[in-house]
Chains A and B, each alone.
Chain A
Amino acid sequence: MIGRSDLSREFWEHGRSASCPIYDMHGHMGPHESIYMPRGDTADMIHTMDECGVRMLVFSHHVALASSPKLGNHLAVQAVRRYPDRLRAYCSINPNYPEQAQVDLETFDEYADVYVGLKFLSDYHGIALTDEAYRPAWEFADERELLVLAHTWGGSRYDGEAVVREVAERYPHVKFLLGHSCHGEWDAAVQLARDFPHVYLELTAVFDDRGVLEKFVQGAGSERMLFGTDLPWFDPHHAVGALLSADISDEDRHNICHRNAERLLAPFVDGLEVT
């Protein structure tokens, strides 16, 4: 068994916890060109979520992040409507195609049962979060106080610390989820969370870096951390094993796995219980 806490025992024995459901705030869906993905389709992902105690996944479809946001966002809508109790989506914005982004924003409100916010993937799209091309989407999200999940990576000129800081200052009403927590620039990520109350540290790919969870809890507080796995990329059980291994409390684990996400999602998900 990993560790000695009550949550450790429960997760180790059963693979999931009744008292500590998981809200995975960073998922994807479907196949991906650069990786063999054994469980990329929706039903397989739901199966994984069942086994790992993931109550809800918020995702963006791989196809939407590539060159076809129109098709990809449509696939995301279909998936959420098939599993309304388990899935919500981010509307993916690719600023290389502003005409499509404009349509996506104009029709956003038609999908109130699907979307909780927007997804930006600046490193891959090659446009900085501060670029003028993102402005309509940022303003849209800021006005509606939406969640924005942005891929952020240490040292990146598109979505590294300095860029993140600038848009965090500019758009204080979004709930700004730093996907991967400015990966590698851990001190900067902590400082961003301390400086901006609307910034959250999302943990996809962070779980594999020993010591970061403790650093974030100590520096930013577990109230600012969110569980994420890039599912169907990373096995949620791996993330849970890392959480149980880290020298943090079960209260911290509750915050990371569900409490923070419940508060963020409550305005968008009818009937969501905030514990």
Chain B
Amino acid sequence: MLFFDCNVFYGLPTKRPLAPVATAEELLAEMDRAGVEKALVWHILQHGASPQIGNQVLADEIRPHPRLVGCWAVQPNQAREFPPPRALFRQMKAQRIAALRVFPSAHRFLANAVSMGDLFEQMVACRVPLFVSLRRGMDWPDIYALLAEFPDLTCAICDHGCWGMDRMFRPLLERYPNVYVDTAQYLLDGGIEALVADYGAGRLLFGSGFPESYLGGMMMALKHARIPDEAKEAIAGGNLARIIEEAQL
């Protein structure tokens, strides 16, 4: 089973965590120890300092490491802090950046059509995936509102919490065909199996939540889930690889 982790960051947060992972090389060493082949990764500077600086640091630091694929952070662009969408996409493609993230609460904006409609429209047109985190920046009403405005957006909902949020994300899986949920903090016994039974294996992405969570927790849960091997392969990495491949940057 090849693990392609969709939910990893590195860099030193403002408040020192118990086990910081400062560099891309340290991240790769941890991935080697756990047996994670690839990761879609973002840098904590994108959240805690500046998306522009964090985006460039990330691109520079993952360049020598083909196992790492980048995820940039974006904000509303009324002040022209970012390139226009198509130019942004071209920059992403040139620097092995495959997806975007938003941190609305920390960065003080609303991720909706009024604030970011031009970007989200282009993301839908080009199938560029958006990753959102319940741990960092998005609440369920925000996600519901965003998807109501952009029902075809490819959107991966990450870090939805250890209190089994099925009643929150299952309605979204049923309504919006391009919504995915990641496995980070999805500790619910039998949760993976129940989701696969109801929605197929195509809507779940392996995410560890590293470095705040151990890489091996959800690896072990997935490896021994009572689902077919093909389903495990899809969740472990196949679904993420397909989403990235479908993006027209």
Contacts and interface: CB of A to CB of B under 8 A. Distances in A.
B218 interface: yes
B108 interface: no
Interface string A25-46: 0000000001111110000100
Interface in B5-25: 17-19
Interface string B165-193: 01100000000000000000101111101
7 contacts: A15-B220, A37-B188, A38-B190, A51-B226, A209-B213, A241-B221, A242-B216
Given A37-B189, A233-B162, 5 more contacts: A2-B33, A15-B220, A208-B209, A209-B212, A233-B164
A17 interface: no
B189 A245 contact: no
Contact of B221 (A35, A214, A215, A235): A235
A170 interface: no
Nearest to A14: B224
B37 to A, nearest CB: 13
A15 B19 CA distance: 27
B200 interface: no
A146 B9 CA distance: 44
Interface in A232-254: 232-242, 244-246
A48 B215 contact: no
B18 A2 contact: no
Interface residues of A, number: 43
Contacts of A245: 34, 214-217
Contacts of B35: 1-2
Nearest to A32: B164
A242 B162 CA distance: 15
Contact of A241 (B163, B185, B216): B216
A171 interface: no
A98 to B, nearest CB: 30
A38 B191 contact: yes
Nearest to A16: B224
Q: Which 4 A-B pairs have the closest CB atoms?
A: A241-B220, A211-B18, A211-B19, A245-B216
Contacts of A207: 214, 217
Interface of A: 1-4, 11-12, 15, 34-39, 44, 48, 51-52, 186, 205, 207-212, 214-215, 229, 231-242, 244-246
Contact of A210 (B18, B188, B193): B18
B206 interface: no
B24 to A, nearest CB: 18
Given A12-B223, A205-B162, A210-B210, A232 B217 contact: no
A211 B209 CA distance: 13
B189 A231 contact: yes
Contacts of B212: 209-210
Contact of B164 (A37, A48, A244): A37
A2 B164 contact: no
B134 interface: no
B219 interface: yes
A57 to B, nearest CB: 12
Given A36-B164, A245-B215, A211 B17 contact: yes
A244 B213 CA distance: 13
A180 to B, nearest CB: 11
Given A2-B215, A15-B224, A210 B189 contact: no
Contacts of B216: 2-3, 241-242, 244-245
B179 to A, nearest CB: 18
Contacts of B218: 238, 241
Nearest to B163: A35
Nearest to A13: B223
A238 B187 contact: yes
Interface string B201-237: 0000000011111111111110110100000000000
